[in-house]
Structure 1
């Protein structure tokens, strides 16, 4: 019995010590940092990948060659295309560390988004990459621009979007899971950040682009892309993008400018904010109320006012409240009239707060949203005035 026990123990260990059947040596792989989806000329799609030349990303071993290799293949299935790239590359492409997915405006406007099923289903692709729209051009061109930051376009754009969200607002930080959810959600249409190529795209492909103080080409975050019924229908400005985040309670910090006198402006830094939305059926239409509570401090003033004077703090607070209550309401009104697409999720809020009313109109929610009564209240509290209560400008005021 002892011998049988020892034998079973050894056999069990052998099963536990089996190697990975699908392992690949480091010398045989190449990491993909970004993927771009365009319409193909001879097939449904053209898929372009940005694969990293790891040696050139290391400052100790870099020799001045290109930090990435960008190639594209056409085909009718994204899955098949991703397995064809050994036409160009000697190594296996690994997609698990992908940072960026760029979709062309042409593809998004046509509603050709069925390739997302492959990205969600694939077990090797994580769901934490940024998804963006390439505005006014091809998605592949976005990946071909050499950048000062880490030399690779994808490795520059991904933190660029994250830092914009953290410092000012403007990127909705839409993961593939959230995007799919909002494509199918009743009462909410999805949005994505939109970027565009500024400058000469041909010169931007050269390594000389990162050797200049002012690059010949650079990728800039341009706007917010609006979807309706699975198709791209338009864009919002950067300020509207920030207002969108504020309405959605996703705004972290930002800076606001208010006109305190004709031609003069003061700026405040918002450090905390909370948004509450109520959405109910009233007087045969949706009745929506957006309430924003925020606080922050004075960052700068052109109005020559001492903040320690009685009533000055209240004046700044009223300026912020009145100005941005109207600006946020204008953003909502613009989307109501121009797109009839509820990107703010007011319908989804009504589904939770007034379920029976929403279910009666859910099939025609876009039109109902466009006729909704909307009220916006901003309650901003100024906590500090920076490191001084009086501006040096007051000393020279006449």
Structure 2
């Protein structure tokens, strides 16, 4: 009997015990995006937090207000700036749902990102598998807090745009904070970070009135920021930006414009793009050999060519191979101009020949600037769409 009583007391105790660190939902604020910039004249960091407004995103009729609330404060460190925000909010901030981090261009240029990302990786409350972007030619606050017409949450909108353009255009890729940290820690690769800008900015960009106009303002993914030794040193746009994704083997599909006359272009869709890269040292010069294979589909014809003929297809295969080679060549030369191996050629040499790479890892970027590159491209057209002959012009 005594034993039964003890068991009953034990079970009752377990049922009555609750979590000591739980928090009620109405006592917390959920942070969905964070922005960090640098103010040189104050030598301080500016922190912007984007917090969900529960009353505005409720599904029931009668929701009021903007879907997010933006708060900002300054501090001598990022941690101090974040804690200073507590003066402006009545609830404790929860950072486990942060979906996006925005870095100011001034911060990326003037302060090393090696220390900026330290606070994110060191703090267990923040995940590092989230996208990071640089606010290009604009303030972090403006780029973050434009209210999009299609999505309620600005952070969700920007993350969706990164995924969309990465899948279809290929000038950007889904770059997460952990990838940037890994590249910053590597001696054989420098990171790249997606840029973001605000288009058609108006006085109503941060209000619900932005929904009520056809030509509303919107944030846009624009270019790749080149990082060298933790600092932003320049930007890649268009073809040179696409070269990073091709060499990284992350292109899902993309598009090529093939000049078919003096003023006209035909369009080709590239799928199944596979790249193999070999790096070796010859003397003190890196020799880089890049092989690209791809399947192509003709998706737009503005010249009167007959794709029913084998020689026409062959002509376009050769033209597309030259176009891809030019894209890669331009991208590599621009990166060499910046003195930043953003393609990870050093990492590839390290994997294939660790002893040789050890000799050059301390000044690998200098070696990369001297590198000689050979590019081989093989494109096969296996589809011309629903028509073989163009409309008569």
Q: Distance in 2 between matches of 1:346 and 1:260?
A: 34
> In structure 1, the residue corresponding to 2:120 is in which secondary structure?
helix
How far off its partner does 1:92 sit? 2.2
Give 1:190 deviation, angstroms.
0.5
Q: Which residue of 2 aligns with 1:97?
A: 97
User: 2:145, 2:171 → 1: CA distance?
Assistant: 24
Give 1:341 shift. 0.5
Q: Which sits farther off after the overlay, 68-77 or 146-155? A: 146-155
Distance, in Å, in 2 between the alignment partners of 1:93 and 1:201 is 30
Deviation at 1:199, TM superposition (A): 2.8
Instruction: Provide the residue aligned with 2:23 in structure 1.
Output: 24
1:321 is matched with which residue? 321
| CA RMSD in angstroms, aligned pairs only | 2.1
Conservation of the 8 A alpha-carbon contact between 1:100 and 1:131: yes
Deviation at 1:263, TM superposition (A): 1.8
SS of alignment partner, residue 203 of structure 1? coil
Which residue in the other structure is 1:225 paired with?
225
Q: Specify the alignment match of 1:206 in structure 2.
A: 207
Partner secondary structure for residue 98 of structure 2: coil
Cα deviations by residue, 1:141-165 (Å, 9 ceiling, x for unpaired)? 2122121122332121111111111
Matched residue pairs, number?
391
CA positional deviation for 1:286: 0.3
Deviation at 1:224, TM superposition (A): 0.6
Q: CA shift at 1:7, angstroms? A: 2.4
Q: Within 5 Å, give how 1:112-191 maps onto structure 2.
A: 112-113=112-113, 114-191=115-192
Aligned 8 A contact 1:252 1:271 in 2: yes
- Write the distance in 2 (CA, Å) between the matches of 1:253 and 1:62: 43
Q: Deviations over 1:7-47 (max 9, x none)?
A: 25853774587322221112122221211101246452110
Is 1:54 matched up with 2:23? no
Q: Distance in 1 between matches of 2:229 and 2:16?
A: 51
Measure, in 2, the Cα distance between the counterparts of 1:9 and 1:59. 45
Whether contact under 8 Å (2:258, 2:267) holds in the other structure is: yes
CA contact (8 A) 2:270 2:295 kept: yes
Q: Check conservation: 1:281, 1:354, Cα contact below 8 A.
A: no
Distance 1:316 1:27, change over 3 A: same
CA distance in 2 between counterparts of 1:17 and 1:84 reads 37
Runs of 4+ in 1 over 6 A off after TM superposition: none
Q: TM-score, normalised by structure 2?
A: 0.93
Give the whole-Å Cα distance in 2 for the aligned partners of 1:282 and 1:258: 36
Q: Contact 1:224/1:238 (CA < 8 Å) preserved in 2?
A: no
After superposition, the Cα gap between the structure-2 partners of 1:353 and 1:5, relative to the gap in structure 1 and judged at 3 Å, is: farther
Matched, 1:310 2:319: no
Match of 1:386 in 2: 385
Separation in 2, partners of 1:73, 1:94: 17
1:352 alignment partner in structure 2: 351
Counterpart Cα distance in 1 of 2:28 and 2:265 = 55
Determine the structure 1 residue equivalent to 2:364: 365
Q: Is contact 2:45-2:81 (8 Å) kept?
A: no
Question: Does 2:76 align with 1:70?
Answer: no
Any residues of structure 2 matched to 1:276-291 within 5 Å, and which?
A: 276-291=276-291
Partner of 1:259: 259
- Structure 1, unmatched stretches of 5+, are none
Post-superposition offset of 1:369:
0.4
Q: Name the CA shift for 1:158/1:311 in 2 (closer, same or farther; >3 Å).
A: same
CA distance in 2, matches of 1:348, 1:62: 55
Distance 1:198 1:267 in 2: 27
Moved more, 146-155 or 96-105: 146-155
The separation in 1 between residues aligned to 2:176 and 2:266, in whole angstroms, is 36
SS state of the match for residue 317, structure 1? helix
> Taking structure 1 as reference, are residues 209 and 279 closer, same or farther at Cα in structure 2, changes over 3 Å only?
same
Q: Residues 6 and 43 of structure 1: is their aligned pair in 2 closer, same or farther, counting only changes over 3 Å?
A: farther
